[in-house]
Every structure is written in C-alpha cells, then in structure tokens.
Amino acid sequence: MSSVADEGDAGPAEDKPAPAEAGPPSDSTLQQLVEVLEAELGDAVVASVVSGGDVWVRVEPGAWRQAAEACERRLDMDYFCFLSGIDWLENPDLSGEKRWDPEVVTSEVSNASDEGDAQSSDVTYATGVAGGDTRFQMLARLYSTSRKMGVTLKADLDEADPRVASWVGVYRGADWHEREAWEMYGFTFDGHPGLRHLYLPGEFEGNPLRKDFPLLARELKPWPGLVDVEPIPGDETAEDTGDVATLAAATDEGG
C-alpha cells in the first residue's frame, strides 16, 4: 500500500528534474533544470551555462522575481544562499594611497566620474559566466537541499535606474541582502517591505561599493606611513624643506 501511495505522490516524471545521485550533479541533470526555467520564463532566459557540476542562468530584470518563484516551486530550491550586486565598471583607481595633493586628487576624482557618465552607453563590460550587457548586475544563489543542486541567477540592470522586484515574498532571507545591495550599490527592490540602512548612518550620501565612489578618507588624507616622516634633530635643511629624500639620507648616515 505504501508503494502505491508513494507512486501517486511522485507526480509525472517530466515535471521536475530527477533528484541528483551521490556526488555532484551531472551536466545533463543540470540541463534539465535550465529547460524547466526556459519553459517557465520563455524568452526572459537570456543565457545559461552548464559546466563543472554547476549552472548559471541570466534572466531579464523584469523576470527576476518570476525566476525566484520558478526555482522555489518547480525546482525545489528551498535554501536561499545569498543575493548581491556587481559593478563591472573598470576600476578608476580612486584609492588615493599614493597621492599627496588634495586639490589634484579631488580634480581627478571629478574628471573620472564625468568621463564615466559620458562613456557609459558605449562601454562593453566583461561580465563573467553567462555574460551581461550592462555595468550593474544582480547576482543570487539558490540551492535545493533535497536534490543537492543549486543555481546562480543573474540579471542586467539599467545603469540610470537599477531596479528589480523584491524576493522577500518568496525567500524571507533576501530581506537584509536586498537592503545591503540598496545601501551599497543603489539598487531599488520594488515591493521590499522596508529599504533602510544596515551599516551606514541615515544621512550618508552615495553608494560605497560602486567603483566610481571616491574613498575621500584616503584621497584627502593619505596613509600616514607614506608621507609623514619625523625630522632629524639638528638637520635644519631637511626640516625646512620637508625633503623626504634628504631626511632619508640623514637617517642612513646617522645609522
């Protein structure tokens, strides 16, 4: 009797990918996962990559929540791993660790930002597995504890207005992850119950994990070890000029 009940509960075999056997899931099993998402999302599946026992799927931003719902409902993805953002802008080298003149630094930061805005529409970004066409992307990982397989989802975001629908209604664990991405990258999550700061003060302006966000603490005041040199007593020339090379030579002679 129990075997009949089990067969009745199982449902049609084609509805969901078969549970993975011991060890990493095969590429053919993961390809079934992609096919289910393609059936659910249609043309909203932009690209997919199956390789090395893992799978990446890039979807249209308008289907971001629908992709989560399909993973939860059709693929038994019951474990929410993480959600975050990526800024694929080439690093404009705003660290400031080897710069001494605040006026020059401030000017360079401003110019880099202006150039980035002017060229943003013409830039091609190297955006990792499953590709991408925009500077900003969403990235999230889901896992099925019963089928022992996971999927990484990606979505391109509009640079001028980066936004997608919130996952909180599907995976409650996405709450703080979305708040962090909103705070650090400036991404908006439509339908989130309460986007507010996690780490930064409420009056903070800007998004620190964007590549063009200037680290002003380093730009305007370089690390002390780079420029602060104690004068040698009695070496008036070095003290007056502040010449680092002269001070270093005096130190060696006094050795």
Q: How many Å from the N-terminal Cα to the C-terminal Cα in the chain?
A: 92
Distance CA 63, CA 44 (A): 6
What's the pLDDT at 131?
93
Domains of the chain in start order, with CATH, are 10-222 (3.30.460.80), 223-255 (no CATH)
**Tokens 């780490």 found at:** 199
What's the pLDDT at 202?
87
Both structure tokens of 226: 């780079």
Backbone angles phi, psi at 199, to 5 degrees: -115, -35
pLDDT in tens, 131-165: 999 999 999 999 999 999 999 999 999 999 999 99
Q: Taking a C-beta distance cutoff of 8 angstroms, is the pair 249, 235 a contact?
A: no
Q: Taking a C-beta distance cutoff of 8 angstroms, is the pair 157, 87 a contact?
A: no
Which among 235, 250, 46 is positioned nearest to 130, based on CA atoms? 46
Tell me if residue 54 falls in helix, strand or coil: strand
Residue 252 DSSP label: H
The contacts of residue 221 (CB under 8 Å, 6+ apart) are none
Helix (H) or strand (E) holding 157: strand 149-157
pTM over 0.75: no
What's the pLDDT at 2?
45
Distance CA 168, CA 64 (A): 12
Weakly modelled stretches of the chain, pLDDT under 70: 1-22, 91-123, 216-232, 234-255
What's the pLDDT at 246?
52
